[in-house]
Structure formats: C-alpha cells, structure tokens
C-alpha cells in the first residue's frame, strides 16, 4: 500500500505512452510552423513537452486524488494494525496463561489464533487489491482528463508530438519548448469549472 505514489507515476507514464500510440495509429498531419513560433519545426512537425513532476505537484485534481488515496491507505493501515494488535494480544494471553489451561483449551485458542492470522492475511490482500483497483480507476480518470485537455489545447497549436518529461528519462531539452505552465494553468481552470 506504500507504493501508491509509484503506481501514480507509473500510470502517468503509461498515459503518455498511450498518447503517443493514439497519435501514431491515426492519419499523420503535417503542420506549418506559422501556428506557433515557440515550437520546433523539423520536417514539417512540431514538438513540445511538459514536466510530469510539475504537473503532479501543481494539477489540483491530481493533488486531490493523491491526498484521497493516501488517506484511504492510512485508514486501511490503521484497520490492519488493529487486527495485528488483537492477534498479538491473543498470542501473548495464550503464552501467559498456557500453563493453567487444559490441552483442549490450548488447542482451541491456538486454532483461534491461526484463524485470526489467516483473516489478517486475507484482509491485507483484499485491501491491497482494493487500493490498487481504486488507484488505477482514479488515475485512469486523471489520465483521460489530461488527454482530453491536450487534444483541445493542441487544436490551435498544431503540435505533432507533446511529450511528458519524466525525470531521468530525457537527456536534453530546450526549455523554449516547455509548455508545462500552459498545461497546468489550463487543466486547473478546466477542473475549477467542472467542480
């Protein structure tokens, strides 16, 4: 459950890969450089990028999703911790009072402890799966909103490619082609209107 942020980052990388796939499967368009002087024109297409870490830190919807997921993770952690404490207490009680119990009582309490341990493991597994499913669903929604916004944003910009710069994945970039501020501003305005 501590891997929520890793999952968020991985899904956002997948979102960018999906955008590239969607672009290449459709008919190719050649845009002129007159649409946007800040974009690179090479062989008839323009390229721009945005900083993924900046988007993650400044896009209000994504911040709210992360906060909600972390709160749910903490809530689940508390529930599991309570179950672990109950199991530990039962075990310590058996250790403490074992000498005064009959063999049948000891066997019953050991079975109870094994059942609690099994329930704890099942609950942990169920919660982890639930957390993964919810994270995936919410991040897919965020990804879809980003994709939709980029389609709208690009209508008058004419970019052939809009890349997401994930830290340590791009070795050189000219900041002239950084559209992060536009993307963050537009996404936040769109989110504020829909809220």
Given the structure tokens 């980052």, which residue do they identify?
9
Of the chain, the end-to-end C-alpha distance in Å amounts to: 28
Contact 113, 91 (CB under 8 A): yes
pTM, entire model: 0.65
Q: Given this model, what pLDDT does residue 58 score?
A: 93
Average model confidence (pLDDT) across the chain: 81
pLDDT in tens, 105-114: 888 988 998 9
Residue 191, both tokens: 């989110």
- Output the CA angle 121-9-181, nearest 5 degrees: 150
Q: Is the pLDDT of residue 76 over 90?
A: yes
Burial of residue 118 (number of CB atoms within 10 Å: 0-12, 13-18, 19+): exposed
**Nearest Cα to Cα of residue 160 among 63, 25, 29:** 29
Angstrom distance (rounded) from CA 151 to CA 160: 11
Angstrom distance (rounded) from CA 11 to CA 137: 10
pLDDT band at 36 (very low <50, low <70, confident <90, very high): very low
**Nearest Cα to Cα of residue 154 among 176, 194, 188, 182:** 182
Contacts of 181-186 with CB under 8 Å at 24 or more apart are: 182/153, 183/50, 183/55, 183/149, 183/150, 183/153, 184/50, 184/54, 184/55, 184/58, 184/59, 186/149, 186/153
DSSP letter, residue 179: -
pLDDT in tens, 133-172: 999 999 999 999 999 999 999 988 888 888 888 776 666 6
């Amino acid at each position: 459950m501590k891997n929520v942020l890793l999952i968020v980052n991985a899904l956002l990388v997948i979102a960018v890969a999906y955008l590239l796939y969607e672009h290449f499967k459709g008919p190719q368009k050649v845009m002129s450089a007159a649409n946007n002087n800040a974009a690179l024109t090479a062989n008839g297409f323009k390229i721009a990028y945005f900083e993924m870490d900046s988007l993650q830190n400044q896009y209000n919807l994504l911040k709210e999703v992360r906060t909600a997921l972390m709160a749910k993770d903490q809530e689940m952690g508390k529930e599991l911790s309570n179950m672990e404490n109950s199991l530990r207490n039962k075990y310590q009680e058996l250790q403490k009072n074992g000498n005064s119990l009959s063999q049948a009582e000891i066997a019953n309490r050991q079975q109870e402890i094994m059942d609690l341990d099994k329930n704890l493991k099942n609950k942990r597994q169920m919660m982890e799966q639930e957390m993964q499913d919810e994270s995936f669903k919410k991040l897919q929604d965020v990804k879809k909103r980003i994709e939709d916004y980029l389609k709208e944003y690009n209508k008058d910009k004419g970019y052939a490619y809009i890349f997401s710069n994930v830290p340590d994945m791009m070795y050189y970039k000219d900041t002239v082609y950084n559209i992060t501020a536009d993307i963050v501003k537009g996404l936040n305005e769109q989110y504020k209107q829909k809220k």
